[in-house]
Structures are given as structure tokens and as C-alpha cells.
Structure 1
């Protein structure tokens, strides 16, 4: 979050919490949600429900409704739509923007009866596009969202104008990341049992994280602990989906691969797998960034994506 805005919101929220007797770290969640709500309005985004066949998906939407082109942004595993808001602010002048909370993430509830593999999630994205009357879109996905973007490019090519894969899961990395080594040793860093575990995990997610006050980090730690069981189930479904290595040559939509070279969750060596496997795929890497370039450097990554989209209108 931007420090000046967060500082003001923290002061207001703490004053209210003292008066109302709100418990800590719930205050951190209230601060985060309030600050996000203010920022999204500043950036021209509004909250909206999208009802599909098996879920009521929450979203942020913005930009001209009659824009000729749409950009759909898909977050990663355990994440939510908030990670896109500053990045998205660079698109709302000229593009219609749709940012979804996938089932089991953010404000879209977890339903144990659903499947959470990337093919099922890709189908839900298409359903959401249908509900909103979006025939084709540029798809931008990070991590698991990048895997879903790859599935869309493969299985729904007629609905995908282009796809941007940001530190995308979905292929076998030639070199093991820190997370891959932990998983091989039987420890999933996303399964959080304490604040200390969360702080170690949070350090893995970004090389240059935006500033956040301690109360928000404590809230996020508690949220991961509360959601541990559902996140474990989602991870199993998503991680057991067949990877796309053997099908990359079947992808023919324009592809841009973005990667933070300091990514500790998905090794930078994955980027060349995507680039070499998909004809004419473009690759941009960021030496100083980690797993979430759109959050660590929203302006720089947005400018690179906008330049790519301009070539594929």
C-alpha cells in the first residue's frame, strides 16, 4: 500500500477501534479493506458480483464499458484481486478491466464440493466473461493465475486476444526454486501455523514488497491460518493438474512472459520453458524483482504489458 494513505487510514482505524473495542489483529483487516476500497475508487475500479453456474464471484471492474478491448486479470494461489489494483490503474483509461476473486480466494467463498484445478478455474473465467458479455479479452495471470491464462490460451483460444504470463506456474522448471526444495522435503510454505512462519513465507513472495504496517501483516498471518485447511485442498487440486510442457506448441495466441529473476517460489528457469515452447512468445525479466512484479513494480510492469497489448489489437 502507499505509505501516506495507509498511515492516515491506520490512524483513523485505530482511533475507531479504541472507541468500539475491536480486537487486534482484526483491526489490520479493517485497515487493509478500507485502504483498498479507497485506492480502487481512486483508480476507477468498483466492486461487483458476477454470478456463474457454481459460484458467486466477487470482482473489481473498471474502464469504459464500451471499450473495444478488455483486460482480465487473474491472481495466484492463496492471493486475491487486491494484488492487481495499482497495476490495473494504468489500464482503466483505454481498456475495460475485469479483476476476479477466484472461488476459494478473497471475497469468493470456498466450497468443498467444487474442483479447484486450473481447467475448472479457466472454465469459470470464461463463464464470467459470458455473463458480462465479453467475447474476447487479453488475459493477464500471475503464478497459478498464469497457469490458468495458459489453459485459456490452449483450450479457449477464440476467447483470448493475447495472454500475459507473470511468473506463471504450469511447467516443470529446469532448476528448483526455494519452494520446490521445501515441497520436496515435505513442507508446504503456504501452510501457515504461526506469525513467524507467515513472515518467512511473505519474504519468499516478493523481493521488493510494498510497505505494510505490522497490524496488517498480523491480520494476513491470521487469515492464512484460518484458511489453512481450504488452501491445502485448493493446492492439491491445482498442483495435481497436468502441466502444459507437452502442449505448449499447441498455443498460438500472442504470449508475453514476464518474470522476476529473484522469484523464490517459481524459478526463473521456468520462463525459458514457456518462451521456447510457444512460437513467437516474448520474454521480459526483471533482475531486482521477485514473484509478483505487478505488485512490486506496478508502473514498470504495466508499461511493458501495455506496449505488448498495443501490438496485438
Structure 2
């Protein structure tokens, strides 16, 4: 098996988009991976070696996270993030991809399926965000303050990387220094807090039930039994409102299933694509 990995930055819709292409020369299908809030492509580090056994894989750092752009002029709405990913996939010449979205990335994936259903063969939602409303108007107004990004930074520093990582896993024994450093890395660049400040007012909220019911793409929902960030009842509700959806629940798992249950996630994805 021959796997080549290439890293890229491409200006899409006015922002630098960082992505990696893991190419399996024998693979016919391509998977596009979208990470969650306060994360990056790093969250798929244990899943990618499994996926590349059978597929080509593209991982994208969604702005303002990871190594993508973080400036305050880009519109960080889910609709625009989805349009940005669509534009990248089209420019790279891919059609009929499989979308994998974790947490917030699942919500971006759903937006992509609505905007351009012919682009996506099937969707795989890993503990996807669902039914979150937009920020309150008072918070949106505060986000216009020149120093609001400092408040965002202080708020995130207060909780800390260790506490945040402990909240997204069920088995805390898997947490090590490499894991903590990987999830801390994007926040060493202070510019991310300006992007997050803009995201506070741009994020329009998750798709409503009425819109979810219009998605025609087949979807597999994979959930952690003990997800504290997006509880299992959200997955069950999404499975009833997305017309062609199936829910799989992984035992003894939390929110970060690409880390905790990479092999089981991979096996379910293979079965679904087959």
C-alpha cells in the first residue's frame, strides 16, 4: 500500500484554507474530514491511518482553527464555511465525495449537503452538533468592542486545555502530553481569538428541523454513549429528522470518538460506504 501525504494552503473566498491530501494510489473513493469547534485536523490523527487503508482522505482546517486563516474580515457563518469547503472541493476537481464531520464539522457537513447535494455521495456525522441556537443579541453586540477578543481569550484560558480535553473523552487514561500539546497548539497564535470574536456574531445557529427534513443525502450518525458535549438524545433526534439516516452508538465512549474509538468508527464507515 502506497500512501502519499501533501500539505497545502489555498486562498478560498478571501481566506487561506489549510488542507492535507492523503492519497492512496489504489483508492477510488475520497473522504473529506471536517473537525469540530476549538479543534483542527489533529483530532483525526488516529482515524486517518485506518481510513487511508481503503480511501483517499482530505482533511481541512476550518477557519479560524488550525493552520487556516484567522482574520476578522472573513464571515464565519456555517453557511459561508460550507460554501468555502464546497469551493475548495470543486477547485480540486473532486465530485461524489464522502463527508465526515465531527461535532461542529457535522453541522458544516449538513450545510454542504443542503447547498450542493450532488457533491456528496454520503455523509458521516460523528457526534454532530445539533439544534444549537445563534448567540444572544447582547453577546453579538459585545463582539463589536475593539478588545472583545481579549475576553474570549481569558474565557478559554480559564477552562484550560486539560479540562476541555477531559470533558470530551470518556476514558481519561488516553490523555497524554502529545494529545494536550496537539489541542493547545492552535491557540498559541493570538489571532485565533479575533476570528472567534467574529464567529460569535456570524454563527447563525444549527439547522432547524424543517431544513434537516429536506436533506436527501444518506447519512450515518455515530455517537458516543457518554457524550457530555452533544448528548446522545441529540443524535437520536437527528436520526429521526434527517430522512435517510441511521444511528450507531459506541459503548464506553464520549464526544471525541475519532480519538477514543478510531477502529470502531472506521469499521462503521466502511460498512456504510460498502
Question: Does residue 234 of structure 2 align to residue 270 of structure 1?
Answer: yes
Aligned to 2:225: 261
Report deviation, 1:101.
0.7
How far apart, CA to CA, are the structure 2 residues paired with 1:275 and 1:190? 37
**Counterpart contact for 1:87–1:302, Cα < 8 Å:** yes
Whether contact under 8 Å (1:77, 1:235) holds in the other structure is: no
Q: Which has more strand, going by share of residues? A: 2
Q: Give 3-state SS (helix, strand or coil) of 1:192's partner.
A: helix
The unaligned stretches of length 5 or more in structure 2 are: 134-138, 140-151
Distance 1:269 1:261 in 2: 10
Q: Quick check: 2:165–2:180 contact (8 Å CA) kept in 1?
A: no
Native 8 Å contact 1:165 1:258 kept in 2: yes
Instruction: Give the TM-score taking structure 1 as reference length.
Output: 0.73
- Pick one of 84, 87, 90 that aligns with 1:130: 90
Could you tell me whether the CA contact under 8 Å between 1:193 and 1:225 is conserved in 2? no
User: Is structure 2 residue 152 aligned with structure 1 residue 203?
Assistant: no
Given the alignment, which residue of 21, 41, 45 partners 2:5? 45
User: Aligned pair in 2 of structure 1 residues 43, 76: CA closer, same or farther (>3 Å)?
Assistant: farther
Instruction: Give the length in aligned residue pairs.
Output: 255
1:111 equivalenced with 2:111 (yes/no): no
CA distance 1:287–1:190, shift in 2 (3 Å): farther
SS in 2 for 1:77: coil
Match of 2:62 among 92, 98, 102: 102
Gaps of 5+ in 1: 1-41, 174-182
Cα distance per residue 1:193-221 (max 9 Å; x no partner) = 34x64332222122235332289459828
Structure 1 residue 264, shift from structure 2 partner: 1.4
Which residue of 195, 199, 212 maps to 1:230?
A: 195
Q: Kindly indicate whether residue 249 of structure 2 is the aligned counterpart of residue 285 of structure 1.
A: yes
Q: Which residue of 1 aligns with 2:29?
A: 69
Give a deviation string over 1:247-279, Cα, whole Å, max 9, x none.
122111110001112111112110111110122
Q: CA deviation at 1:140?
A: 0.3
- Rate the CA distance shift 1:86–1:142 in 2: closer, same or farther, 3 A: same
